[in-house]
Amino acid sequence: MVTVPPPDLGAEPAGFVVEVAPGDRIHFLDWGGETVPGVLLIHGLSNTSWSWTPVARRLRQARRVVAMDLRGHGLSDAPTAGYDPPGFAADVVAVAEGSGLLAAPDDRIVLAGHGFGATVAAWAAPSLRDRCVGLVLVDGGWESFEPASGMDVDEVLRNLEEPPEVMRSMDAFLADRAGFDPASWDSDQERAARATIVETHAGKVVPATRPHALQASVRAMFAYDPARALAGIAAPVVALVAADPDGDRARALAEASGARVAAGWSPIDVSSFGHDGHNLMRYRPDAVVAAILSVEGPGARQRQ
């Protein structure tokens, strides 16, 4: 049984950037912690590193924790290129190395991604080879997006815009986000929500994720082959599944797990939360932390 630490409500992360190309920087939050393997957290589409706060507050007491902003998101730069598997993977490796998570030759990390961030984590894991000792997929990373969504990529792009009434003001936007689950809404959730939008001089809000970055990320997402990607990862894989009313997501997960077994690796370890929404970091932070801590890796130890 994994013991989940209580949240460290006084903790505040330090923000840093790592340069991945001249003039091209990726931002990350360093939550601290000393025990290795460390953990690199990767947020989902149109979100930022702040979405991981409920998890990071707990996890930092048991692991070294870093959360990154994907390119084109949050405080990372938004170049016109690099929104493909090699580009995203290179960003993850740069943050893993530049943050000090992989400072020593024998340091290892766990990658944890949410939604599209789980797909990015699956792309990055092979680049890290044996330095990645586990992959945690938080409600994403095991599905082909076209059959899962029932739409082609252009239909999805047309449906990404928020309703005008939600974007008419900061108050309206925050009220909409709080309404997903009032019981879990707090100052951390408000900060995470505010990080995803920009308030205009007219008082309206617009998405902080750059339009070209969002479009390119969605197109990369639709090209993802989960069975092939996950079968190419030797490290253990853990998946947390939110609502799945028709069972389609479980079937896709079983297919991806079968591909891993056929490749000679362990099956995917699955936990299901059928009554919860996509943002399991908000609704089930203890379960997400427990899943990450279940991936110990060889020789978990305090950094010297």
Residue 48 lies in a domain: yes
Predicted local distance difference test score (pLDDT) of residue 34: 87
For residue 67, the enclosing domain spans 14-153+211-297
3-state secondary structure 164-205: CCCCCCHHHHHHHHHHCCHHHCCHHHHHHHHCCEEECCCCCE
Residue 199 lies in a domain: no
Q: Kindly tell me the burial class for residue 190, based on how many C-beta atoms sit within 10 Å of its own C-beta (0-12, 13-18, 19 or more).
A: middle
Asked whether the CA dihedral 203, 207, 210, 211 is positive or negative, the reply is negative
Residue 288 lies in a domain: yes
Predicted local distance difference test score (pLDDT) of residue 298: 56
Mean pLDDT of the 68-73 span = 98
| Per-residue pLDDT reduced to its tens digit, 98-140 | 999 999 999 999 999 999 999 999 999 999 999 999 999 999 9
Cα–Cα nearest to 233, from 269, 268, 265? 265
| Per-residue pLDDT reduced to its tens digit, 252-275 | 999 999 999 999 999 999 999 989
Residue 85 lies in a domain: yes
Residues above pLDDT 70, as percent of the chain: 97
Residue 249 lies in a domain: yes
pTM of the prediction? Answer: 0.97
> Token pair for residue 135?
């992959």
Predicted local distance difference test score (pLDDT) of residue 1: 78
* pLDDT above 70 for 302: no
Mean pLDDT of the 21-37 span = 94
What is the count of structural domains for the chain? 1
Residue 194 lies in a domain: no
Domain CATH for 75: 3.40.50.1820
* pLDDT above 80 for 304: no
* pLDDT above 60 for 299: no
Residue 35 lies in a domain: yes
* pLDDT above 90 for 188: yes
Residue 25 lies in a domain: yes
Q: Which H or E run includes 217?
A: helix 211-222
Cα–Cα distances in angstroms (integers) from residue 183 to residues 177, 179, 235, 282, 288, in the given order? 12, 9, 36, 10, 18
